[in-house]
Amino acid sequence: MRWGEMRRSENVEDRSGMRPRGGGLGGGGFKIGLGGIVLALIASVLLGINPFSLLGGLSTPAPTPQTAPAGYGPQVGPGAATKAADPAKEMVARVLGDTEDVWNALFQAMGARGYPPPELVLFADQVRSACGFASAAVGPFYCPGDRKLYLDTAFFDQLSRRFGAPGDFAQAYVVAHEVGHHVQNVLGTMQRVGPSPSNPVQVRLELQADCYAGVWGHFAAKRNLLEPGDLEEGLRGAAAVGDDQIMRRTQGYVVPDAFTHGSAQQRMFWFKRGLETGDPRRCDTFTETRP
């Protein structure tokens, strides 16, 4: 992936050299995570509604697979060649910047207000958010309470070695998935979130974030920012964090009723849907319940 040509986001806070004070899961909110490494930490899920009913007034057609959003193109600033001490952190900052450009253009194309970008917090070992304290074991997550993404880049090593999904585009998928949760929050979907035992509804929320990640990937591909093998890396990444794959690795058997993020097949299906269409409105996982 040619991430060095992407615009670097300024919305990155590096706390990796800090240690949070205090303890416990105080505060409000809940975490929306990528891989379900510790599935029980997801405490709340979406109520059974069609989130696209919240998009009233967004009547302008979304971009077709052949047409990029109006006014959208590569935005490489003067600092594009700047190299950071940590390549993983630099890659994350640039992927985040590219998601900002894509979603801002898509919001405009849909007739919505401007896209308010999230802040991404880099941390090591543990971190404090508006959703409480979390260790790196929970994996990357999004906190609706403060509209921030949280990532310990050490997760990328686990993604490669433990989950068998190496490559920078697989890592970019991780970032784009959590950005997908932010998009859900901005569109108003998460205002209707509350405690619920309905795992199938939570699965649909996660699958929509996968599809939104694919939407970003669609436009990265159209601008020739992807390289041969990148799409396969992304699909491997989506499959690697499927509930069935994680359960097989951790307990040796699969319990479909306990899924919270979706199977490998489901995650690949919806990620690929976004990649192929580039249309957020084709990511309605709540009414179109296949596969």
Instruction: Give the separation between CA 212 and CA 166, rounded to whole angstroms.
Output: 21
Q: Per-residue pLDDT for the chain (291 aa), expressed as one digit of tens each?
A: 999 999 999 999 999 877 665 544 334 455 676 644 333 222 222 223 233 333 333 333 333 333 333 333 333 333 333 344 689 999 999 999 999 999 999 999 988 888 999 999 999 989 999 999 988 888 889 999 999 999 988 888 877 777 667 788 888 989 999 999 999 999 987 776 454 546 777 888 888 999 999 999 999 999 999 888 887 877 776 767 666 666 766 778 767 766 667 787 888 899 999 999 999 999 998 888 777
| Cβ pair 199, 45 in contact under 8 A | yes
Side chain identity at residue 105, one-letter code? A
pLDDT of residue 154: 85
Q: Which residues fall within 8 angstroms of residue 208, CB to CB, at 6 or more apart? A: 51, 180, 184, 270, 283, 284, 285, 286
82 alpha-carbon distance from chain centroid:
25
Asked whether the whole model's pTM tops 0.85, one would answer no
Q: SS in 3 state form for the chain? A: CCHHHCCCCCCEEECCCCCCCCCCCCCCCCCEECCCCCHHHCCCEECCCCHHHHHCCCCCCCCCCCCCCCCCCCCCCHHHHCCCCCHHHHHHHHHHHHHHHHHHHHHHHCCCCCCCCCEEEECCCEEEECCEEEEHHHCCEEECCCCEEEECCCHHHHHHHCCCCCCHHHHHHHHHHHHHHHHHHHCCHHHHEECCCCHHHHHHHHHHHHHHHHHHHHHHHHCCCCCCCHHHHHHHHHHHCCHHHHHHHHCCCCCHHHCCCCCHHHHHHHHHHHHHHCCHHHCCCCCCCCC
Token pair for 270:
């919806």
231 alpha-carbon distance from chain centroid:
16
| Residues 68-92: b if buried by 16+ CB within 10 A, e if exposed | bbeebeeeeeeeeeeeeeeebbbbb
